[in-house]
Amino acid sequence: MSDAVAAAEQMAPDASRAGTRLWRGALKSPLMLVGMAGTLVIVAAAVFAPMLAPYDPTSQNLASILVPPIWHPDGTVEHVLGTDGLGRDVASRLLFGARNSLFVAGAAMLVGSSLGLITGLVAGFFGGRTDAIVMRLGDVQLAFPFILLAIAVLGVLPDRHPVHLILVLGIPGWIIYARVVRSRVLAEREKDYVEAARAVGAGSWRRLFRYVLPSVWQVVPVIALLDIGFLIIMESTLNFLGLGLQPPASTWGGILAEGRRNMVVSPWLPVLPGLAIMVTVLSINLFGDGLAALFDPRLRRGGMRRIIPPSPSARAAMAAPSPREEVAEPVTSDGDAGSLLRIRDLHVEFPVEDGTVHAVRGIDLDIRPGETLGVVGESGSGKSVTASAIIQLLDPPGRVTSGSILLDGEDLVRATNRRMRGLRGRDIGMIFQNPAASLNPVLTIGFQMREAIRHVTGGSASAAATLARQVLVDVGIPDPDRISRQYPFELSGGMNQRVMIAMALAVKPRLLLADEPTTALDTTTQAQILRSLADLTDEQDISLLLITHDVALIAEYADTILVLYAGEVCEYGPVDQVIADPRHPYTRALLESVPRIDSANEQLETIPGELPDPRATRTGCPFAARCSEVMDVCRDEVAPPFPIAPGHVAACHLWSPKHVGEASP
């Protein structure tokens, strides 16, 4: 295999830290820790049963039948949990019963999970006839009740051995694993890293087991743990019915059945194996739920909830200036009253296993009615996170930890979920990067537009249809009736993006957030869509926050520019002034990397180095390590936004009053 294949393999998700994550997750989750500890104790008791059991579980003593447990007035220390109707020690039988029950359930789980994992991988990856055959076999099996199948098979066997129970319990369970694994594989096989491996010559089986399998196996241990609990119950049920291991083998179900015969005179006999089954299944389930939350952080407590940070009210935030405002004048020339959107000292964090990602660190910005603010910066600068924070759609576990986002004086950070649902679409619109992923592939364009319009306006279906047709015409779609009948996958990327713009502008929101709306489009389509977007926002007096990597687009379509780097504001001001006279070294570096017509033969400049670790605590300028004009103070002190001109600030020590004074002749 070539070096290219080896390089492509590095693109597959890495699961090497699973063990470390398991222990960290257990320490952070009390219930998972309890479940793990209980499971380990029960498994250890089963493994070491021959050493822990005080008696042979099959040894009978008819002189000591139905001896009560030690807590009973007639109990003895020789038999801590008493004896059964044949004088056998109950504690010893429970220990060996755990050994048999856990062995059968665990082996059956391995059989079912192995079959399900392999069939799910093959069915999901190859699809077509293979997928259809595998899934139809699963449907046939699910149509036949599991317990009846087990009774029918075991009832005709004259001698039942553990292998019989393992196969009867394990084989039918494959379909549970296969369905889940298949669904994961269907989504994973289309990912870019799998296609990259195919492009460099990796075969089907190599892609399946080297690239896809590491991305989907995590779901199997969770299902397996929960399946063991179910299999323990099924194994106990079969033994209770007399269809399990034959006497004198000890099983929890068998002990429960024997205790039922003497429950009138010795009520503890059926209770003890029942408690053993309950505690074991509960411990395993708690452990499994903890693993599920570990592999999917959104399932953790509060993971799907929007967290409202405790902080002063919006009025207090308006009255008390942030440290930045004490250095520089307000960035909007019209003052607070002229701003539709006013953000102050915004901080957004994403807690992760090995720290906290500080995605946004103290952003300030203003947008006036009808103004277009262009936000530019490298990937990872916090552009999209800022837009998501404005509309309060941060991916969990992300949260706004401090600061204020004032929309016409109302703090969105501390608005209720009900209030945010009322603002989204009606007052704040959003255009996402990937229109194909934002539109539902199984619903027509017309249906989705009418649904969105009716949800916001509450109007009739006919009024929504008329409005949908009109906005499609407004964004340059020549045949809106035909487009309304089509599905998103039948349209080009540019046409889908026009639909997204039309949907966002249909109800004329006061603020529109456009998150790189033309990233995947060709230059001609990009220009057409941005021109349509600019014209429509001007006509409807809509404020626009335009996010992009392209400084040239900002220069052509924006009124104001905000340059972000590593979650912090580098420069902010009128676009003409910033483009003509950039003051921050990062802004200048971005402009020098843009091709120019008058310098076609010159080599474009690149910015050396990489973005700093967002989890690290900073003591100076985040751009210091890559800056060609770095000074000692840059590494030690964070630069506040120093005023350059009215409405123009730059967060760079080069423009501090002290440095400017020293540099002046």
Q: What is the pLDDT confidence band of residue 295, given thresholds at 50, 70 and 90? A: low
pLDDT greater than 90 at residue 368: yes
For the chain, the average pLDDT equals: 83
Q: Residue 290: its pLDDT value, please?
A: 78
- Closest to 279 (Cα-Cα) out of 587, 513, 44, 41: 41
Contacts of 35 (CB under 8 A, 6+ apart): 282, 283, 284, 285, 286, 287, 288, 289, 290
pLDDT greater than 80 at residue 301: no
pLDDT greater than 70 at residue 319: no
In the chain the first and final C-alpha atoms are separated, in Å, by 65
Same domain, 344 and 204: no
Region of poorest pLDDT, from 302-306, 320-324, 360-364, 641-645:
320-324
More confident of the two residues 562 and 268 = 562
Q: Residue 354: its pLDDT value, please?
A: 72
Residue carrying structure tokens 């991988």: 121
The token pair that represents 67 in the structure block: 């001896």
More confident of the two residues 608 and 399 = 399
- Closest to 644 (Cα-Cα) out of 592, 581, 569: 581
- Tell me the per-residue pLDDT of 187-240, one tens digit each, with 9 for 90 and over: 888 777 888 888 888 888 888 888 888 888 888 888 888 899 899 999 999 989
Contacts of 380 (CB under 8 A, 6+ apart): 566, 611, 614
Q: What is the pLDDT confidence band of residue 298, given thresholds at 50, 70 and 90? A: low
- Tell me the per-residue pLDDT of 164-179, one tens digit each, with 9 for 90 and over: 999 999 999 899 999 9
- Select, from the ranges 93-107, 298-312, 612-626, the one with the highest average predicted confidence (pLDDT): 93-107
Same domain, 255 and 400: no
- Preceding amide of 397 cis, omega within 30: yes
More confident of the two residues 42 and 617 = 42
Measured between alpha carbons, how far is 246 from 252 in angstroms, rounded to an integer?
13
pLDDT greater than 50 at residue 617: yes
Contacts of 126 (CB under 8 A, 6+ apart): 204
**Secondary structure element (H or E) that encloses residue 468, with its range:** helix 461-474
pLDDT greater than 90 at residue 33: no
Q: Residue 44: its pLDDT value, please?
A: 93
Helices (H), 10-89: 18-28, 30-47, 49-52
Measured between alpha carbons, how far is 260 from 242 in angstroms, rounded to an integer?
13
- Closest to 162 (Cα-Cα) out of 280, 106, 244: 244
Is the Cβ–Cβ distance between 533 and 554 less than 8 Å? no
Mean pLDDT of all residues in 343-372: 89
Q: Residue 20: its pLDDT value, please?
A: 58
Residue carrying structure tokens 């089986």: 205
Same domain, 86 and 201: yes
Neighbour-count burial for 477-497, b at 16+ CB within 10 Å, e otherwise: beebeebbeeebeebebbbbb
**Residue 345 falls within a domain, yes or no?**
yes
Is the Cβ–Cβ distance between 120 and 181 less than 8 Å? yes
Task: Quote the percentage of the chain above a pLDDT of 70.
Answer: 86
- Give the DSSP per-residue string, 481-546: HHHHHS-GGGS-HHHHHHHHHHHHHTT--SEEEEESTTTTS-HHHHHHHHHHHHHHHHHTT-EEEE
**Residue 19 falls within a domain, yes or no?**
no
Q: Is the dihedral of CA 167, 170, 174, 176 positive or negative?
A: positive
**Residue 634 falls within a domain, yes or no?**
yes
Q: What is the pLDDT confidence band of residue 7, given thresholds at 50, 70 and 90? A: very low
Contacts of 562 (CB under 8 A, 6+ apart): 365, 373, 374, 375, 376, 569, 571, 572
Measured between alpha carbons, how far is 381 from 201 in angstroms, rounded to an integer?
35
Measured between alpha carbons, how far is 119 from 133 in angstroms, rounded to an integer?
11
- Tell me the per-residue pLDDT of 237-294, one tens digit each, with 9 for 90 and over: 998 988 888 888 889 998 999 888 888 888 889 999 999 999 999 998 888 887 776 7
Same domain, 217 and 344: no
**Residue 9 falls within a domain, yes or no?**
no
pLDDT greater than 60 at residue 325: no
Contacts of 653 (CB under 8 A, 6+ apart): 621, 631, 633, 634, 637, 639, 659
Please list the residues that pair with 351 across neighbouring strands. 356
pLDDT greater than 90 at residue 353: no
- Closest to 66 (Cα-Cα) out of 56, 51, 81, 77: 81
C-alpha distances in angstroms, 49 versus 55, 93, 271, 282? 10, 9, 21, 21
Q: How many CA atoms lie within 13 A of 20 on its CB side?
A: 5
Measured between alpha carbons, how far is 507 from 382 in angstroms, rounded to an integer?
28
Same domain, 397 and 277: no
C-alpha distances in angstroms, 442 versus 134, 439, 464, 479? 25, 9, 20, 21
Three-state DSSP class for residue 574 = strand
Mean pLDDT of all residues in 58-64: 87
Region of poorest pLDDT, from 164-168, 245-249, 305-309, 404-408:
305-309
pLDDT greater than 90 at residue 562: yes
**Residue 517 falls within a domain, yes or no?**
yes
Q: Residue 305: its pLDDT value, please?
A: 59
How many helices (H) does the chain have, and how many strands (E)? 30, 12
Same domain, 269 and 336: no
Measured between alpha carbons, how far is 287 from 229 in angstroms, rounded to an integer?
11
pLDDT greater than 50 at residue 9: no
Mean pLDDT of all residues in 562-580: 93
- Tell me the per-residue pLDDT of 439-459, one tens digit each, with 9 for 90 and over: 888 889 999 999 988 888 888
**Residue 211 falls within a domain, yes or no?**
yes
Residue finishing a domain among 295, 322, 354: 295
- Tell me the per-residue pLDDT of 511-524, one tens digit each, with 9 for 90 and over: 999 988 877 667 77
CATH number at residue 632: 3.40.50.300
pLDDT greater than 60 at residue 600: no
**Residue 115 falls within a domain, yes or no?**
yes
Could you list the residue range(s) of the whole structural domain that residue 193 is in?
29-295
Q: What is the pLDDT confidence band of residue 116, given thresholds at 50, 70 and 90? A: very high
Same domain, 83 and 226: yes
Mean pLDDT of all residues in 52-73: 89
Q: How many CA atoms lie within 13 A of 309 on its CB side?
A: 20
The token pair that represents 434 in the structure block: 């990937």
Q: Residue 569: its pLDDT value, please?
A: 93
Neighbour-count burial for 620-643, b at 16+ CB within 10 Å, e otherwise: bbbbbebbeebeeebeeebbbbbb
Same domain, 61 and 195: yes
Q: What is the DSSP letter of 395?
A: P
Q: Residue 364: its pLDDT value, please?
A: 92
Residue carrying structure tokens 């967002």: 614
Q: Residue 360: its pLDDT value, please?
A: 93
Strands 341-352 and 355-367: antiparallel
CATH number at residue 264: 1.10.3720.10
Measured between alpha carbons, how far is 53 from 89 in angstroms, rounded to an integer?
9
**Residue 205 falls within a domain, yes or no?**
yes
- Closest to 168 (Cα-Cα) out of 184, 152, 144, 190: 152
Same domain, 383 and 287: no
C-alpha distances in angstroms, 424 versus 78, 401, 407, 429? 71, 21, 12, 6
Measured between alpha carbons, how far is 586 from 567 in angstroms, rounded to an integer?
13
Same domain, 627 and 568: yes
Same domain, 177 and 213: yes
Domain count, the chain: 2
Q: Residue 613: its pLDDT value, please?
A: 87
Task: Quote the percentage of the chain above a pLDDT of 90.
Answer: 31
* Ramachandran angles phi, psi of 502, nearest 5°: -60, -40
Q: Residue 597: its pLDDT value, please?
A: 57
Same domain, 217 and 366: no
Q: What is the pLDDT confidence band of residue 545, given thresholds at 50, 70 and 90? A: very high
- Beta-carbon count within 10 A of 69 CB: 20
Q: Residue 485: its pLDDT value, please?
A: 92
- Tell me the per-residue pLDDT of 117-165, one tens digit each, with 9 for 90 and over: 999 999 999 988 898 999 999 888 888 888 888 888 888 887 888 899 9
Q: Residue 207: its pLDDT value, please?
A: 87
